[in-house]
Amino acid sequence: MHALAEHLGQVPMHSSEPLIRKLTSVGPVTNRDIKVLDCSHEERAPAGADLFSEGDSLGEVLFLRTGWAHRYRLLNDGRRQIVNVLVPGDLIGPFTPTAKQFAATLTPSSICRVSRADIARRMGDCPGFSAAVEALIASEFELLAERTVSLGRRNAKERIAFLLLEVYERLRRVGLVNGNSFELPLTQEVIGDALGLSVVHVNRTLRALREAKLATVGFGRATIHDLATLADVASAGEGSQVPAEEMTGIISLR
């Protein structure tokens, strides 16, 4: 990395980066569009760092350049529900000027901040960027609906199988899967809080999946041994499996 660039808070980006891959995966994005990110503030955060809290008014949007994070809500008796687990390349949020959820890192991460004003200003010259952001939000929406289905109608085994496949697919899209194995720096507690399960039950279920030779999870990694069968378990559901993603914002005003 260029020391000067780093000193200025501007680290050059490469097309192999998850964030760039992610953006280009949802539609045509030019170098010019990506510049919006290049020019922005960039910073590192250790594991477990708070990124924003419920009620915060940021004026910016955060992207996860490297590392893992999560967005969550708390109940006043301490229960936590993770709304989404964020992998490299993901849009962290917040989705509204004042955040309605908490966000924190799970591993040491590199965060990219872009001011909302900037995005708006660039709508004219870098339409690809705001369109990409719109698409990212749309897929976040989709993910959330899918999680709702899991929590409402799938049992523990199905939920975990589904999560593994979902993460597998998301990582694959940004080039972070090698063969049938990928990094998964989630504690069982995090998995539980994401899927509405207790740590103990996550552990039991993980063991069941391992004994059934479907997948092995642990040591910060996950390995899928039998993708087909795992998919069967995962989606006793999924009606019509709508294909990939479209380059369309929510409701896409286009």
Contacts with DNA by CB under 7 A lie at: 155-157, 187-189, 196-201, 203-207, 218-219
Q: What CA–CA distances, in Å, run from 183 to 68, 120, 158, 180?
A: 10, 35, 21, 11
In which region does residue 77 sit, left (phi positive, over 0), alpha (psi from -120 to 50) or beta (all else)?
alpha
4 binds, among DNA, a copy of itself, none (CB under 5 to 8 A by kind): none
Nearer residue to a copy of itself within complex by CB, 21 or 100? 100
Q: Shortest gap between Cβ of 19 and a copy of itself (angstroms)?
A: 17
Cβ contact 185:106 at 8 Å = yes
Helix (H) or strand (E) holding 239: none
Q: What is the 3-state secondary structure (H, E, C) of 183-209?
A: ECCCCHHHHHHHHCCCHHHHHHHHHHH
Interaction of residue 254 with a copy of itself, rule CB under 8 A = yes
Residues 6+ apart with CB under 8 A from 130: 119, 120, 122, 123
Among 25, 40, 101, 110, the residue binding a copy of itself under the rule CB under 8 A is 101
| Interface with a copy of itself, residue 149, by CB under 8 A | yes
144 binds a copy of itself (CB under 8 A): yes
Binding of a copy of itself at residue 125 (CB under 8 A)?
A: no
Residue 14 touches which member of DNA, a copy of itself, none, C-beta under 5-8 Å by kind: none
Judged by CB under 8 A, the residue of 64, 83, 106, 191 near a copy of itself is 83
